[in-house]
Structure 1
Amino acid sequence: MNTPARLVPLLKQFDQARERLTDRLTGPFVDSGNGTEVAVPSLTDEEYRWEPVPDSWSVRLHSAGPGPGATLLTGAGDWGRDTAPFPHPSPPPFTTLAWRLSHLSELLALRADHTAGNHSLTRADHRVAGDAAGALADFEASAAAWRAALLGADDTALDTVGYSSYPYGSDPEDPFVDVVWWVNQELLHHGAEIALLRDLYRARGHGA
């Protein structure tokens, strides 16, 4: 199937954001934005779960229970991600790199399922990784699943309201092309947050 012309730039944006975030997390280099390679170390378990401020939301062992301000840990496996039912705390808690990367992987995997899969996965089904290597593998698998779902969309699908039945957003009320745009924005802004957290981790303890 030919890719619809209006999907092409959105796919390109997704691919570039995905590649840049992956490189930023795994190294050994990431493009600075102007073609210059900047050396970066691969993400470690310590950095993955680093809590730069008190009462951060993160990923934790289910056996340990949720962190401060959270009421439950969502996710399958031994680990879960801090969360609370609506209405969420205000102001929102600070979230760690682990929390943000897990959130990204979950939204990509679940949207892929609710677009081109069984339309059945929930947040409770999504495995949360407690280590950096597992989290990176989950992100790659989730991103690949979402991209494959996009390649199955034709022009009719892009205009179809509810083509994605993802239950944790406005997808059932939105044309699919709007969902594709929104997912790109999620990847871009959480990717930027993760990059900043890596910079802060590298510079920790060097302040006045």
Structure 2
Amino acid sequence: MNAPARLVPLLDQFDLARERLTGRIAGPFVDSGSGTDVEVAPLTDEEYLWEPVPGCWSVRRSDTGPGPGATALTGAGDWGRDTAPHPHPSPPPFTTLAWRLSHLSELLTLRADHTAGSRSLTRDDYRPVGDAAGALADFGASADAWRAALLGADDAALDTVGYSSYPHGSDPEDLFLETVWWVNQEMLHHGAEIALLRDLYRVRGGLA
């Protein structure tokens, strides 16, 4: 089916944000924004789990327990992501690239399910990934699932409150069009954070 006209620019924005984030992680090049290719080294496992400051929240092996300030590791499988119940620590902990990418993939996976799937998945069902290549593949699959859910939405769906029943946000009280906008915002701002962390890792210790 053809996407509703109101959805098309948001789909285009999502696709661009996804393309740039994928390029920024995987390389070998990413568009600078002006059409110039900038060389990018592929993300390594060491960089994926790099903790720039003490007390980072990250993705950790489930059998090690949560990191500093966290009370649990959320997720299924051999890896989990540091978390704590509301209210979260203030100021919020610094989070690693692994934490941010896992968070982004999880919210895409769960929102896809709560829009066009079983509407039953929880954070305890999502499986965080402990290596860079696996995390990139997981992000791709999560983005595919969310985009497929968007393509199933017609104009009536865009104006439906609670069309997404994702339980960890305001989706059940929002028009679906507002949810789509919010997910794009998540992609853009976490993508920018991940890009900055890659720059910091590259120049750590004063090395260019």
TM range (shorter): over 0.9
1:2 CA drift (Å)? 1.9
Q: Alignment partner of 1:80: what SS?
A: strand
What is the correspondence of 1:92-171 to structure 2 with a 5 Å cutoff? 92-171=92-171
- CA deviations on 1:135-171 (whole Å, 9 max, x unpaired) are 0011000000000000000000000000000000000
- Aligned counterpart, 1:20: 20
Does 2:77 align with 1:77? yes
In 1, distance between residues paired with 2:52 and 2:70?
17
Give the TM-score normalised by the residue count of structure 2: 0.99
What is the SS of the residue equivalent to 1:56? coil
C-alpha deviations, 1:170-207, integer Å up to 9, x for none? 00000000000000000000000000000000000007
| Cα displacement string for residues 103-151 of structure 1 (whole angstroms, at most 9, x for unaligned residues) | 0000000000000000010000001000001100110000000000000
In 2, Cα distance between equivalents of 1:185 and 1:50:
25
Once superposed, what is the RMSD of the aligned Cα atoms? 0.6
Aligned to 1:52: 52
2-side partners of 1:145 and 1:123: how far apart?
16
Which whole-Å CA distance do the structure 1 matches of 2:16 and 2:106 have between them? 20
Instruction: Give, as a single letter, the amino acid of the residue that structure 1 aligns with 2:35.
Output: G
The one-letter amino acid of 1:82's match is: D
Cα distance in 1, alignment partners of residues 2 and 21 from structure 2: 28
Runs of 4+ in 1 over 3 A off after TM superposition: none
Per-residue deviation, 1:96: 0.2
- Secondary structure of the corresponding residue to residue 196 of structure 1: helix
* 5+ long unaligned stretches in structure 2: none
Q: Which letter does structure 2 place at the counterpart of 1:186?
A: E
Counterpart of 2:43? 43
Q: Which residue of 1 aligns with 2:89?
A: 89
> Aligned pair count?
207
Identity level (%): 81
Q: Name structure 1 gaps, 5 residues minimum.
A: none
1:125 aligned counterpart, secondary structure: coil
Deviations 1:24-52 (A, max 9, x none): 00000000000000000100000000000
* 1:11 matched residue in structure 2: 11
Give the residue type in structure 2 aligned to 1:173.
E
Tell me how far apart the structure 2 counterparts of residues 75 and 35 of structure 1 sit (CA, whole Å).
39
State the TM-score, normalized to the length of structure 1. Answer: 0.99
Equivalence map 1:61-76=2 (5 Å) = 61-76=61-76
Matched, 1:184 2:180: no
